[in-house]
Structure 1
Amino acid sequence: MPHNDVRPDNAGSTPPKPPFKILIVDGDPALLATVREALAGVSVDGAAVQPMGAATAAEAREALYDHPGIALVLLEVALETSRAGLDLVTHIRDVLGNQRTRLVLCPADPGAVSEAEVTAGSDIGDCRAKAELTARALRILVVGQLRVFASLQALAAGRKGLARMLVATTGLLELRTPDTLFPNILPRVVGLLGIGHHALLCIQGDTLPRDRKIRVRASTGRFSAWRDVEVEALGEARVEAALARLTPASETIVEPDFCALRLRANGGITGMIYVEGRNDGTAREWQLLELFRNKCSIAFENALLFEELNTSQKATVLAMGSLAEYKDNAASGHLQRVEKLVGAIARELLQRGQFGDELDADYVEKVGLAALLHDVGMLSVSDETLGMPGELATDDMQAIRRHTEIGHRILSEAALALRGRSLLSIAAEIARYHHERYDGTGYLEGLKGDAIPIGARIMAVADVFDALITSRQYRGAVPVEQALGWIVERSGRDFDPRVVDAFVTVVRRLQAEDPGWFPKSGGQHGMLGGLIGRKLRALFGGRAEAL
C-alpha cells in the first residue's frame, strides 16, 4: 500500500480560521470593557477572539439567535430580575438545545448562586465572582473554555463526517457496472465534502492499446456538458495540473479551492476524481476523503471487473449463437438485431408495468443477451439437412424441430451451476419455447397464452420479424410495414397481443431514431436463410407462402 502523508498538501496555505465569538451578558458595561482589553491580540489555536455584549437576558437571546456559533457566554446572574441569568442558562440548554456553548457565571454578588445551582446539571463551566476577574484570570478562564468548546466542535464535526461517510458509501459496492457507479460517485463525494457541485470523474488507461490519455466518464456542475472527452480538450489547465499531481505516493489531495482523489484498479486502469470548491483544507477533511477513496477504489475495481466479465460473457454467448450462421459463412446481423429487439421490447413492457410476476430490471438486463442462444440447438442438425433444397421430408423436419429440445437441454444443464435466474436459465427457456404459439398450436409442447414464458413470447415476435425483413433463398426481404402488418394481424393467435403492441412501439421508435438499423432488401441469405424460411412455413403453414 502506498504511504500517504496525513497532512493536506496545502497545510501552510489554509485560509484564516473564523474567530471565537464571546458574549458578555451584564448590565454593567465594565465587564465587557475588561474582557476586550484583556483579550486584545489573544488567539486560541490560530483563531482570534471576538467579544460582544448584551445588557439584558432579552438582548442575549437575540444575540444567540443571530450568532448561533457563539463559543462562550460570560453571564451575570442578576439582570432584569435576580434570577434572569439562570433562566437564560435554561433557555440556552433546554429551549435552544445548545449543549456546546460554554457558560460561565460571573455574579457581582457571589452569594447569589449556590453551589448546587452551578453543579445541578445545566453544564455550567465555571462560576467566578466578577471582582476576581483580573486580566490574567480572564485570559486563563477564556482560553481554557474556548479549548473545551473547540474540542466539542471537533467531536461534533467528526460525528457529522462519519454520518456523511455512511451516506456517501452506503450501497456503493452494489453499483456493479461503470455506467451506474461512475455517475453516482460524484454526488456522493460532493455531498461528503459540501464544497460545491463542480466535479469530474476521469479514467486513464481504459482503451486499447493502453495510453496515458485521461478521459471524462462522468461530470456535474459546470463540467456537466463534458462526457467521453479527453481532459486536455477541456481547456482547463488547473484541472489538468491537479490530476497530474495524483500519483501512487499522493492519492488524496486537499487544497483550499479543490480536492482530488486517485482510484486504483488492476490492469493499468486508474480513476481520478476532481471536485472544485472552497474548503477548509483541514486534516479532518483529508482523512474523510482518504476513507472515502479507499471504499470508492474497491467499488471502482469491482465495477471494472464486472464490466470485463460481462464483456467476456457477451463475447462467448455471441460466439455460441453465431455458430449456426457460420455454417453458411454468412454474418447477417440476425443475432444482433434479435438481441436489440428482445431487450427493447422487454424494457418497454417493464416500463408499462406489464408481466410484473416475470419481468424485473435484472431479467430485462439479461434477456436480450440470452436471446442470442435461441437456436443453439441447431448445431445438432446435420449440414445435409440444412443444405437440402426445397421442402424437407418429415424426418428432416422433425430433426429441425428437435433443436428446441436439444438447445434447452444444453443450456439448462450449463445453468445448473448458477444460482437464481441466470442468463443461461433464461436462454434455456427461450430455446425451448420460442416456437410455441399464443393459441397453443406451436411446438414443442403446444403451450398456450401465459403458460409460455415471457422471454419466449418476446423472442417469437422478434425472431419472425427479423426473418421477414431479411432476404431468403426463396424470396426477397419483406418491407418493414408489410412485416409489421403480418405480425399485428396474427396478434392473439400466433403472438401475445401485449408483446405485439410493445413491439410495434419499439419498431416505430427505431424507425424515428435509427432508420438505417433495418436491413436493406435484396441479396441472398444462403443455407441459414432457407432454413429460417422453412421454419416459418412449418410454424405458420400456408399463410407464410405469400411472404
Structure 2
Amino acid sequence: MLHDDARPETAGPVAKPPFKILVVDPDPSLLATSRAALDGLSIEGAGVALVGAASAAEARNALQQHPDTALILLEIALESERAGLDLVTHLRRELGNQRTRILVCAGDAGMPAEDETIAANDVGDWRVKAELTPRALRAAVAGQLRTFASLQALAAGRKGLARMLVATTGLLEMRTPDVLFPNILPRVVGLLGIGHHALLCIQGDTLPRDRKIRVRASTGRFAKWKDVEVSALGEPRVEAALERLSPSSETIIEPDFCALRLRANGGITGMIYVEGRNDGTAREWQLLELFRNKCSIAFENALLIEELNTSQKATVLAMGALAEYKDNAASGHLQRIERLVGSIARELHQRGKFGDELDADFVEKVGLAALLHDVGMLSVSDETLGMPGELTGIDMQMIQRHTEIGHRILAEAAVPLRGRSLLSIAAEIARYHHERYDGSGYLEGLKGNAIPIGARIMAVADVFDALITSRQYRSAWAVEDAISWIVERAGRDFDPDVVDAFVHVIRRFQTDDPGWFPKAGGGHGMLGGAIGRKLRALFGRRAEAM
C-alpha cells in the first residue's frame, strides 16, 4: 500500500475511456431520450458513449464489436416475443459475459413476470418506459454503471493478484544476483504490461563507493547493454529518471515510463526502469508497490548471499594458498584448478553422467572446494618437503598422510553445516584425490565409482596442471603431450568418462581462452618437488619426465 511519505511521483491523471451503453429498441425514441438524459453523466471520472441497435441481430453484432459494453438498455419485445430474452441468454451463456449490466426498458407492462425474468437472467433492473422520466433514467443508469465498475475492479483485482503471484513466485529462491537480476525484469514487465524495454541498475556496488549507476540486466531495446554505466548509454532521459529516485521517491510514474528503487543495506541501491505508455489505476500501482517491496527483499538477500559467497571464496583461497605458501608455485595454479574442476563437473552434469552425485548444487561448489585438496600438506615438515631425491619410509608416509589430515581438518569444520556443504565436498576431495581408478592409489586403494566423483575429477585436473607447469627437476610439458598422457591412462589411473569430459573442456579453452594455460618457466620449490615425487611414486618410472 502507498504511504503518504512514499507516494509515487506521477504526471497527473490519465483520462479514462467512457462507459459504453448499448440501447436496443426498434423505437428510436429510447436512444434519443437516453442521449438527452445522460448528457454530461460521469461515473468515477468516466463519461458515457451510446451505441444504438434496432433488433436483436444488430445487438449481437454490436456486442461482438464492443465486448467491453458496460450496460444494455433493452426493450424485451424485439423481432419476436422472446427475442429480447434470447439476447440476454446469448450474452450470459454463449458469450460468458456476467459483467455487462442489463436494464430492461419495457414498453408493455403485460410481459412475463418481472421477478422471474430478473432472477433467471441476471437482469439488474426492470422499468416501464411510460414511467421512465429522464431523471429516473439517469439515476437508474448511474446505479448500474457503478455496479459494473465494481465488478470490473473486482475482476481487475483478481487478475492483479494473479499477476502478482506469477511475478513474485520464486523470487526469494533466486539466491544470487546473476540469477535474480535477469529474472526480475520479465516479471515487472509482465506485471505492468506497458512494454518490454527495461533496465535493472545498481548504484554503489563498487569500492570505493560512488554514485555511478551501472546496468546489471536489460531487456528490449536495452538488451545489448550490460555491465556498463548508464551515462554511457546515450539516454539522458533514462539517466535523469534514475537520478530522481531517492529514499523519499521510491516509485516514479510518468505517462511513458516508470522507475522503482529497491532498498539494500551497505550503501547499495537497486533501480528498475521500464519504458512504455502506462495508464494504470491506483489499484494496479498499489500492486506495483507491493511488488517493489518483495523485490527489495529478494534484492537484499541476493546481495547478502553474494557478499557471503565472496567472503567464503576469499577464505577458501587463503586456506588453499597456505598449502602453496612453502613453494613459489606456478602462477595461477589455484585459479586454474578451480576453473578446470568446475568446468569438467559442469560438462559431466550436462551429459547426464553420475546423476546420483552430480547435481547443480555440487557443480556450483566443487571448483572452489577443489582449492583445498592439498590443505593437509601444512602438516608436512619443511625438512621432508625439502629433502632431495626420492622419499622413503617415514617421510613418504608423511607425504601420503596429507590426504588423511586434510580430510580430518575439513570434515570437522563441516560438521555444523547442513547438507552437502562446500567443506564436506572439499573433505572428500582432500582424502581421495590420490586414489586411482584401477585401485592402485592411496590411502584406501579405492577403485572405480567407489572413489567420490569430486576426487576423480580432481585427480585429472591436478595431474594435468602439474604436467603443464615447470618443476625444479623438469620443464613444463606441451599441452598436447599432457593431454595424450592422460588419455593413455584413462581406465587405469583416471575415470574414462571424466577424461573424455576433460578433453572436451581443454579443447574449448584452447579455442575460447588460450591465455588460460600457464606461461613457460613458472616457479617451483619445495612443494613442487614433493608433488613431483608423489606423481612419480604413483605412476612409476614412466613419469620421471614429469
Q: Name 1:202's counterpart in structure 2.
A: 201
Distance 2:268 2:9 in 1: 25
Structure 1: runs of 5+ lacking an equivalent: none
Q: Name 1:254's counterpart in structure 2.
A: 253
- For the structure 1 residues 59 and 234, does the alpha-carbon distance in structure 2 shift closer, same or farther, using more than 3 Å as the test? same
Pairing of 1:112-511 with structure 2 (within 5 A): 112-330=111-329, 332-511=331-510
Structure 2 letter corresponding to 1:10? T
Structure 1 letter corresponding to 2:417? L
Distance 1:10 1:463 in 2: 61
Distance 1:218 1:93 in 2: 46
- For the structure 1 residues 54 and 237, does the alpha-carbon distance in structure 2 shift closer, same or farther, using more than 3 Å as the test? same
Asked if the contact 1:440–1:449 (Cα under 8 Å) also holds between the matched residues in 2, the reply is: yes
- For the structure 1 residues 183 and 342, does the alpha-carbon distance in structure 2 shift closer, same or farther, using more than 3 Å as the test? same
TM-score by length of 1: 0.97
Asked if the contact 2:330–2:524 (Cα under 8 Å) also holds between the matched residues in 1, the reply is: no
Q: CA deviation at 1:7?
A: 5.3
Asked if the contact 2:2–2:289 (Cα under 8 Å) also holds between the matched residues in 1, the reply is: no
Structure 1 letter corresponding to 2:441? G
Q: CA deviation at 1:87?
A: 1.5
| Residue deviations 1:86-144 (CA, integer Å, cap 9, x gap) | 12112211221111111111111022131332332422110011122222122111111
TM-score by length of 2: 0.98
Distance 2:43 2:516 in 1: 71
Asked if the contact 1:375–1:403 (Cα under 8 Å) also holds between the matched residues in 2, the reply is: yes
| Residue deviations 1:378-397 (CA, integer Å, cap 9, x gap) | 11101110111111122111
Asked if the contact 2:483–2:503 (Cα under 8 Å) also holds between the matched residues in 1, the reply is: yes
The SS at the match of 2:273 is: strand
Q: CA deviation at 1:246?
A: 1.0
Pairing of 1:12-161 with structure 2 (within 5 A): 13-161=12-160
Structure 2: runs of 5+ lacking an equivalent: none
Q: CA deviation at 1:68?
A: 0.8
Asked if the contact 2:242–2:273 (Cα under 8 Å) also holds between the matched residues in 1, the reply is: yes
The SS at the match of 1:128 is: strand
The SS at the match of 1:219 is: strand
Distance 1:67 1:7 in 2: 35
Of 389-398 and 288-297, the range deviating more from structure 2: 389-398
Q: CA deviation at 1:345?
A: 0.2
| Residue deviations 1:381-430 (CA, integer Å, cap 9, x gap) | 01110111111122111100001111111111111111111101111110
Asked if the contact 2:344–2:501 (Cα under 8 Å) also holds between the matched residues in 1, the reply is: yes
Of 520-529 and 145-154, the range deviating more from structure 2: 520-529
- The percentage of aligned residue pairs carrying the same residue is 81
Asked if the contact 1:195–1:279 (Cα under 8 Å) also holds between the matched residues in 2, the reply is: yes
Distance 1:15 1:140 in 2: 26
The SS at the match of 2:30 is: helix
Asked if the contact 2:330–2:469 (Cα under 8 Å) also holds between the matched residues in 1, the reply is: no
Structure 2 letter corresponding to 1:105? V
Distance 1:8 1:313 in 2: 39
Of 114-123 and 22-31, the range deviating more from structure 2: 114-123
Distance 2:405 2:20 in 1: 81
Structure 2 letter corresponding to 1:9? E
The SS at the match of 1:47 is: coil
Q: CA deviation at 1:41?
A: 2.8
Structure 2 letter corresponding to 1:115? E
Asked if the contact 2:260–2:273 (Cα under 8 Å) also holds between the matched residues in 1, the reply is: yes
| Residue deviations 1:267-309 (CA, integer Å, cap 9, x gap) | 0000000111111143222211110011100000000000000
Q: CA deviation at 1:197?
A: 0.4
Q: Name 1:10's counterpart in structure 2.
A: 10
Distance 2:286 2:242 in 1: 19
Structure 2 letter corresponding to 1:427? A
Distance 2:126 2:157 in 1: 30
Asked if the contact 1:118–1:127 (Cα under 8 Å) also holds between the matched residues in 2, the reply is: no
Asked if the contact 1:25–1:54 (Cα under 8 Å) also holds between the matched residues in 2, the reply is: yes
The SS at the match of 1:305 is: helix
Structure 1 letter corresponding to 2:469? T
- For the structure 1 residues 178 and 4, does the alpha-carbon distance in structure 2 shift closer, same or farther, using more than 3 Å as the test? farther
Distance 1:121 1:237 in 2: 60
Asked if the contact 1:197–1:275 (Cα under 8 Å) also holds between the matched residues in 2, the reply is: yes
Asked if the contact 2:23–2:50 (Cα under 8 Å) also holds between the matched residues in 1, the reply is: yes
The SS at the match of 1:106 is: strand
| Residue deviations 1:317-366 (CA, integer Å, cap 9, x gap) | 11001112111354632111111000000000011111111111000000
| Residue deviations 1:152-171 (CA, integer Å, cap 9, x gap) | 11111111111111110010
Distance 1:423 1:7 in 2: 45
Distance 1:202 1:99 in 2: 44
Of 412-421 and 1-10, the range deviating more from structure 2: 1-10
Q: CA deviation at 1:27?
A: 1.3
Distance 2:120 2:78 in 1: 22
